[in-house]
Chains A and B, each alone.
Chain A
Amino acid sequence: MVTQVTSFGRSGLSDWVVQRVSAVILGAYTIFLLFWVASTPDASYEQWTALFSCTAMRIFSLLSLLSLIAHAWIGIWTIATDYLTPMSFGKAATKVRFLFLCACAIVLFVYFIWGIDILWGVK
């Protein structure tokens, strides 16, 4: 079996499952937040911080943040390995793909730390 060193779980099946489970979590979080914002059009600062400071919402938010990192990585990896190939970049393809994935990994790491910082800063 050929394993891809840059894939999320080193196995296509693992990536497939993680992609789907994280999708359901992210979908639930997105729909919840959109509904909350739509149903509370004149939300005050107190209501907004109260929402994000309760423990259940902190767990939900952190779960979604972790899901976002995994989901985005698998998606970006899929796209990078589909399009940044020798067909489009010739011999430089591996270097181009590696640099692109490194850049995306840094962005995702920033999202992760920034997200934790935001969630833990709520009083």
Chain B
Amino acid sequence: MPPPWLPDNNYKCFLGQPASVNLLRVIKVNNKRPVNLDLFTIKQPLPAIASILHRISGIIVFAGIALLMYVLDKTLASEEGFVAVQDFLDGAFVKLILWGVLSALVYHLVAGCKHLLMDMGVGETLQGARTGARLVLGISAILIILLGVSIW
């Protein structure tokens, strides 16, 4: 079955190629119009922004887990460590980093909930995607501000 955005006779598959390369070749082979794939020159719709932020926040969490595990390690190892980490987390710069990592985690979590809802068929229309993206950005913004308030 061809994907819905391509007419039947325009669909060609190049096995073993990543999806993005395939799409590019399909466009090149079947379309004579000029194609602009420079993402930085295209105004992205809100769902696209919510989606790329989900990926970026995932990478930040992947790296930030090191800080969270360091905190868990020190606080559990000894009472001195527990007190030392509390002092460590009082530093303005450390608070900023912690807020950044936890913000990425909160955003990733909220956006992930939207993903799970969409897997269940909720909000799969174009308008639903726009509303979903707005909700994800709004809810996580509120939670991130609350997080900042509780850290400081």
Give residues in A with beta carbon < 8 Å to B: 2, 20, 23-24, 27, 30-31, 38, 45, 48-49, 52, 68, 72, 75-76, 79, 81-82, 85-87, 104, 107, 111, 114-115, 117-118, 121-122
Q: Which of A52, A72, A87 contacts B24 (CB 8 A)?
A: A87
Q: Which 4 A-B pairs have the closest CB atoms?
A: A45-B82, A45-B79, A118-B73, A75-B58
**Which residues of B lie under 8 Å from residue A23 when comparing CB positions?**
112, 115-116
**Which residues of A lie under 8 Å from residue B122 when comparing CB positions?**
none
Q: Label chain A's interface by main secondary structure.
A: helix
Q: Is the CB of B119 within 8 A of A20?
A: yes
CA distance A66 to B66 in the complex (A): 15
CB<8 Å pairs between A and B, sample of 21: A2-B15, A2-B16, A20-B116, A23-B112, A27-B109, A45-B75, A45-B82, A72-B65, A75-B55, A75-B62, A76-B59, A76-B62, A82-B20, A85-B20, A86-B21, A111-B66, A111-B69, A114-B69, A114-B73, A118-B76, A121-B77
Query: Distance in Å from the Cβ of B26 to the closest Cβ of chain A?
Result: 14
What's the count of A-B pairs with C-beta under 8 Å?
63
Q: Other than A81-B18, A111-B69, give 8 A-B pairs with Cβ distance below 8 A.
A: A30-B109, A48-B75, A48-B76, A75-B58, A76-B62, A82-B20, A111-B66, A121-B76
Give residues in B with beta carbon < 8 Å to A: 15-16, 18-21, 24, 55, 58-59, 62, 65-66, 69, 72-73, 75-77, 79, 82-83, 105, 109, 112-113, 115-116, 119, 150
**Which residues of B lie under 8 Å from residue A24 when comparing CB positions?**
116
**Which residues of A lie under 8 Å from residue B19 when comparing CB positions?**
82
